[in-house]
Structure formats: C-alpha cells, structure tokens
Amino acid sequence: MSGLLICGCCGKSFVKRSDTSFGCAERIKGCCDNKVYIRQDEIETRVFKALQEALVLDAFSEVFDTALQDALGQLRKNPPDQELPALVAALDGIELSIKNLVRSLENGAPYANLKPRMEEMGSQKLALKNKIIAIAKTATAPPAASKASTALSYVLERILPLLKEPDWVHLANEHLANLVRRPPSHQIQKTQST
C-alpha cells in the first residue's frame, strides 16, 4: 500500500513505517509535522468497507449485474468442460488400442513392428490425460449468486484473510493500486490512529 496512501498534511505518500503501520514518508526526512501512524489492519478495513459500499450503488450494481448475467449466459452456452466427454471417449479408445497392441505382443507379434505404434499411443494417452486434468481443474460450476453485488461482497469478505499470505500480497497490491488510481484519490485525514 506504500505510495497509495496520501498524507493529509503535506500531500506526500505514506509508507510502511513498521510491520503493522504506515506513516508519512516526509516525516522521516523531517519535512512534515504529521506524527500520525495508521495501522495496516485499519487501512484494509477502510478499503474493503469502501469497496463493499460501492457495490450497493444502484448504477454500479446494474452494470455488474448485467455483466454477470452475460457471463453466466456464456458459461451455460459454452461450458469450459463441454469437450470433456469427447476427450474421455478418445482416451477410452486409446486405452483399448493399447490393450489390443499388448494382446498382439502376447500372441507373438514382433515387438519391433509394434514399438513405434505403442510409443505413439502412449504419447496420445498422456496428452489426453493432461488435457482432461487441466479442464477438470479449471471447469467450475457457474456461481450460484444471481446478483453481482452479492457475489462481489462474498469475494471481498474472503480476500482479507488471503492478504495475510505473503505470496498474495504483491499481486493484491498491484490490483489495489489500479483500483485506487481510478477514482479521485482521497487523502487520509490527520486522525489519532495508532
């Protein structure tokens, strides 16, 4: 969040001053009298509250509801796993062909003649399995929420715990920076937060 928070006294950036709080960058240099520190958890609470409040605005909700309904319609028309049955059938066919090749070997067919076909079938089987696994991982049922504000509120409630995980902090900071830069910036008022 460093660089996204603005000092109410000098207009310069707030920066991380401790593990749990932010303060004015110019204060460090002795160029600002703002001694106020603001706790990171308080900032996160304010940001998420503002995002949740924005979700209840009618114009905002209407746009997102329309976008959500369009996306759900597209998912229903073209589910990400629609090719899964064909892939499973192709895998079954490859496995049957491999069994037949093995049976041919058992019945005395020369291995040298069957080896290239066995290798080709093995590669095809592996490729199909990997594709099926990838589709199964990404294919999810469309969300049950029919209103975007409900869906987004649900997501926001679950984001805060994720921000405690170091791997997510950098990515979240980039997205938050984009969100914060879009609307007019609001300065943090000089309050007695610790």
Contact 44, 176 (CB under 8 A): no
CA 141 to CA 143: how far, in whole Å? 6
Kindly report, residue by residue over 86-136, the tens digit of the pLDDT.
Answer: 899 999 999 999 999 999 989 998 888 889 999 999 999 999 999 988 887
Contact 114, 102 (CB under 8 A): no
Average pLDDT over residues 27-56: 82
What pLDDT sits at residue 143?
55
What pLDDT sits at residue 9?
92
Q: What is the edge-to-edge ordering of all strands in the sheet holding 21-24?
A: 14-16, 21-24, 38-39
DSSP state of 38: E
Whole-prediction pTM value? 0.38
Q: Which of 2, 46, 21, 39 is nearest to 13 (CA)?
A: 2
Q: Which of 2, 3, 11, 1 is nearest to 187 (CA)?
A: 11
